Amino acid sequence: MRQLTVLLVEDNPRDVRLTQRAFKQAGLPHELRVVRDGDEALAYLHREGLYKDVLSAPRPDMILLDLNLPRMGGHDFLRVVKQDERFKQLPIIVLTTSERPDDVRLAYAVGANAYLHKPVEFSRFTEVIGQLGKFWLEIVKLPPEA
């Protein structure tokens, strides 16, 4: 199994650390890259600014997306990415604290591949990340880069 790249779009440093720990604890050997908002995630995908070099910004195999972000929020980011032919097939998994039905509906309407609620307890969070990683990064056949 090759090491995959996961782009985490998350502005909360605590949640970033929790996700990094959960990946490690769940035994997921994949590379986790972190950006803080939708604008930075777009710069990463388009290889602009700090992310011009392919080594500093390898194309992600999957994106983990928080919805509540500064500047460009998660729903807007989803809408933009899923309209771009280069990234339309890129799996985007929403991982957020919001359980609002409107957020769930809108996320799927604009192209989310899955919507997961962030559990509060670390053990449950690790379990969710482990299941997510097992399914999306080991079982599912991801599309090749276009």
Distance CA 109, CA 106 (A): 5
Q: For residue 98, is it within any domain? A: yes
Helices 38-46 + 74-82 axis angle, to 10: 30
- Asked if residue 1 has pLDDT above 80, the reply is no
For 68-124, the pLDDT digits (tens) are 999 999 999 999 999 999 999 999 999 999 999 999 999 999 999 999 999 989 999
The tally of CA atoms less than 13 A away on the side-chain side of residue 134 is 10
| Strand partners of residue 65 | 9, 94
Q: For residue 5, is it within any domain? A: no
pTM for the whole structure: 0.95
Q: For residue 28, is it within any domain? A: yes
| Strand partners of residue 33 | 7
For 116-126, the pLDDT digits (tens) are 999 989 999 99
CATH number at residue 21: 3.40.50.2300
Tell me the two tokens of residue 119: 């559990």
Q: For residue 56, is it within any domain? A: yes
Q: For residue 120, is it within any domain? A: yes
Q: For residue 49, is it within any domain? A: yes
Q: For residue 70, is it within any domain? A: yes
Mean pLDDT of the chain: 93
Number of domains in the chain: 1
Parent domain of 36? 10-137
